[in-house]
Amino acid sequence: MKKVLSIAGSDPSGGAGIQADIKTISAHRMYAMSVETALTVQNTMGVHEVFGIPADFVKKQLEYVLEDIPPDAVKIGMLFSADTISCIAETLDKFGAKNIVLDPVMLSTSGKRLLDETAESILIKKLFPLSDLVTPNIHEAEKISGIKINSIEDIKKAASLLSKRCKGNVLVKGGHFGECIDVLYFENQFFIFEGKRINNPNTHGTGCTLSSAIACGLAAGKSIPESVMLAKEYVSGAIGAMLDIGKGRGPLDHFWNLK
Ligand SMILES: Nc1ncnc2c1ncn2[C@@H]1O[C@H](COP(=O)(O)OP(=O)(O)OP(=O)(O)O)[C@@H](O)[C@H]1O
Ligand SMILES: [Mg+2]
């Protein structure tokens, strides 16, 4: 059985973060593991509060898991502080973790800032270089690249700039832009994943779900472009299943593919 590790924050309402990752990995019939970086007070209407797990405790969680069960892929989501990010980078490097997908979560869907300036720069300096794929959304791509995004050409420019900071592979997600077109920059080539915007307000956790599904593809030995293609199909199916839970932006149906 392939094993996938999620390093992320918890969402007690079950739609995003660690909970979305575990559901996604399970729906891919893989073995899910999780290292928590933060607890949140959150529901479908937004993130109210964040409690960061102390960095040395995050490090111990990670070391204990890696010593025992080496993962076939790792997905990294919400991180809390510069110290946490440094500990995670050092530990992943020490254990030679492979197939790392980094979702550089900086803002919650509802717009709450999740990383301070220092943490953001440590993320780019220490975790980007270890990551086989980085998956920013439009806002994160704009922030990291400094390019204002108004067109697919702008997305391409931002992706190629960002690629210089990691192992060269970047997926800019288009969920907040027009027809949900995602742009992958892989081995100096662009791959455009044409989406179709699904008319469903319940998109809580799309980013977490996509990056975990990509990690599952890599764990299964698929290439980055194929993993992205399959993950996008999985997320579209999970949005298209039209689950409607909660009073705000509700979660996806992670198990639509098993029905
Ligand atoms: N309404 C939608 N219809 C179809 N696909 C969507 C829709 N919304 C988002 N997606 C897809 O979901 C994936 C995640 O993209 P998105 O831009 O929402 O990430 P994100 O902003 O990081 O998400 P999150 O808000 O969970 O952090 C992408 O493949 C995107 O194209
Ligand atoms: Mg996101």
What digits encode the pLDDT tens for the residues 55-79?
Answer: 999 999 999 999 999 999 999 999 9
**Whether the predicted pLDDT of 145 surpasses 70:** yes
User: Which candidate, 223, 229, 168, places its Cα nearest to that of 195?
Assistant: 229
| Burial (Cβ within 10 Å: 0-12, 13-18, ≥19) of residue 216 | buried
Give, using CA atoms, the residue closest to atom 7 of ligand 1.
175
Ligand 2 (ion): residues with CB under 5 Å are 207
Q: What is the structure's pLDDT at 191? A: 98
Which pTM was predicted? 0.97
Of the residues 9, 175, 205, 217, only one is catalytic, namely: 205
Element (H, E) at 172: strand 170-172
Of the residues 59, 173, 195, 232, only one is catalytic, namely: 173
Give, using CA atoms, the residue closest to atom 20 of ligand 1.
207
**Whether the predicted pLDDT of 130 surpasses 90:** yes
For residue 183, the domain's CATH number is 3.40.1190.20
Q: How many domains does the chain have?
A: 1
Print the domain residue range for 90.
Answer: 3-258
Q: Give me ligand 1 centre to Cα 13, in Å.
A: 18
- Sign of the CA dihedral with 63 first, then 59, 86, and 7 last: positive
Distance CA 80, CA 181 (A): 29
**Whether the predicted pLDDT of 110 surpasses 70:** no
